[in-house]
Amino acid sequence: MKLNKVLVSAAALSGIAAAGTAANADTVSVKAGDTVSELAQKFNTTIEAIQKANNLQNVNFITVGEQLNIPTNDNAEQQVQQPQANAAQIQQEQAAQQAAIAQQQAAQRQAQLAAQQKAAQAQAALQAQQAAQAAAAQKQAEEQAAQQAAAQKAQQEAAAAQAAKEQQEKVEQAAQAQAAAQKQAEEQAAAKKAQEEAQQQAAAAQAAKEQQEKAAQKAQQAAAQKQAEEAAAQKAQEAKEAAAAQAAANANAKAAQQRAAQQAQAQQQQQKQQVAQQNTTQRQAANNNNQQSNNNNNSNSSEAAAKAWIVAHESGGNYSARNGQYIGAYQLSASYLHGDYSQANQDRVANQYVASRYGNWVNAQKHWEQCGWY
C-alpha cells in the first residue's frame, strides 16, 4: 500500500514536471525574405528552439507559406534544455522509487538495504550529472551550428555582393565601349558629311567660276560690238556731214578718215587683246581641270589598289569563300548581306561599310595592316 502511494506520487510529479516545461507557441506563415534567425530575434526566442519546435532538418531552408510554431516563453534556452532536464528528473524520480522499494524491503535486511540505497543514490547523482553534461554539450553544438550558419550566410551574401559588383562593372564597361563606338561612328559620319559638303562647295565654286567666265566673255563681246556700232554710227554721221559740205570739208574728211582708221586699228588691237586674254583664261581653266582630273584618277587608283589588297588578304578574291559567319570576297558578316550573297551586293555592302567606318579603302587598308582586320 505504501509502495503504491510512492509510485503514484512519482508519476504525479513527473506529470507536473512535464506540464511545467510546456511552452507557449505562436503559428507564423513564412513570407518572402524571412529567415529563422530573424523570426527568433523578432519573437524573443532562439534558432534552436524554433528548429526543435518544428523538427527542421536545415534552419537555412524554409519556404514561403510554410507554417512555423514559434515558442514564446521568456527563457527559450531553458526550453531547448528542458527535455534533457526532464529526463534527468525522471531518472532521479525512478531512483527515488527504487530507494522507496528498497526501504520497504529493509525491514527484513536493513544492512543490505542501506548499501543498496546508497548505491542507488550515487547512481542517480551520476545519471543527473551525465544528463547535465549532455545538455551542455548539446547547447554548445547548437551554438556552433548557429555560428556556422551565420558565417555561411555572411559568405553567401559577400559572394552575391561580389558577383553583383562584377556584373555591374561588366555592364559599365560594355556601356563605355558602346558609347565609344557610337562616338566614333558619329565622328566618321560627321567627317564624311563635311567631305561631301566640301566637294559640293568646290563643284559649286567651279560652276560659278565657269559662269562668271562666260558672263565676262559675253560682256566683252557686247562691249566690243557696242564700240563697233558706235564707231560705225559716228562714221556715218561724219560722212553725212562731209557730204553736206563736201567742198569745204575735204581736208576734214581726210582727217576724219585717218581718225576712223586709227580707231578701227585701236579696236582691232583691243579685240586681239581680249581674245588673247580669253584664250589665256580658258587655258588656265583647262589646266586646272586636267590637274583635278589627274588628282581624281590618282585617288581612284589608290582606292582600287587598297580595295584589291584587302580582297586578296581576306579571301584571295573568292566571292564564294566562307569562314563561319563571314562570307564572300570581303569576308563580311552574314547579317550585313541579308541573305543576298551576289557579287554586286557584296561589292555594294563592302563599299558602304568601308565608307561609314573608315571613310575610304586606303584608311581601311591602313587599319588592316595595323590590326590584322578591317
For residue range 52-84, list pLDDT tens digits in order.
999 988 888 888 899 999 987 654 444 444 444
- Specify the pLDDT at position 314: 93
Crossing angle of the two packed helices 110-244 and 76-105, in degrees rounded to 10:
170
Tens-digit pLDDT string for the chain (374 aa): 333 333 333 333 333 333 333 446 789 999 988 898 899 998 999 999 999 999 988 888 888 899 999 987 654 444 444 444 455 555 665 566 566 555 666 666 776 777 777 877 878 888 888 888 888 888 888 888 888 888 888 888 888 888 888 888 888 888 888 888 888 888 888 888 888 887 888 787 787 788 788 877 777 887 777 777 777 777 767 766 766 666 665 666 566 566 666 666 666 666 666 656 666 655 565 555 545 544 444 568 899 999 999 999 999 999 999 999 999 999 999 999 999 999 999 999 999 999 999 999 999 999 999 999 99
| Residue 121 near residue 100, CB atoms below 8 Å | no
Residue 373 and residue 314: Cα distance in Å, rounded? 9
Backbone torsions φ then ψ of 279, nearest 5 degrees: -65, -40
| Residue 139 near residue 125, CB atoms below 8 Å | no
Residue 233 and residue 148: Cα distance in Å, rounded? 124
Q: What is the DSSP string of 246-296?
A: TTTTHHHHHHHHHHHHHHHHHHHHHHHHHHHHHHHHHHHHHHHHHHHHHHH
Write out the H or E segment, with its range, that includes residue 67: strand 67-71
- Specify the pLDDT at position 340: 94
Q: Is the full-model pTM beyond 0.85?
A: no
- Specify the pLDDT at position 219: 76
- Specify the pLDDT at position 239: 63
Residue 45 and residue 38: Cα distance in Å, rounded? 10
- Specify the pLDDT at position 130: 84
- Specify the pLDDT at position 176: 87
Give the chain's end-to-end CA distance (angstroms, integer): 109
- Specify the pLDDT at position 5: 34
C-alpha cell at 255: 582727217
- Specify the pLDDT at position 8: 32
Look up residue 57 and give its DSSP letter.
Answer: S
- Specify the pLDDT at position 257: 64
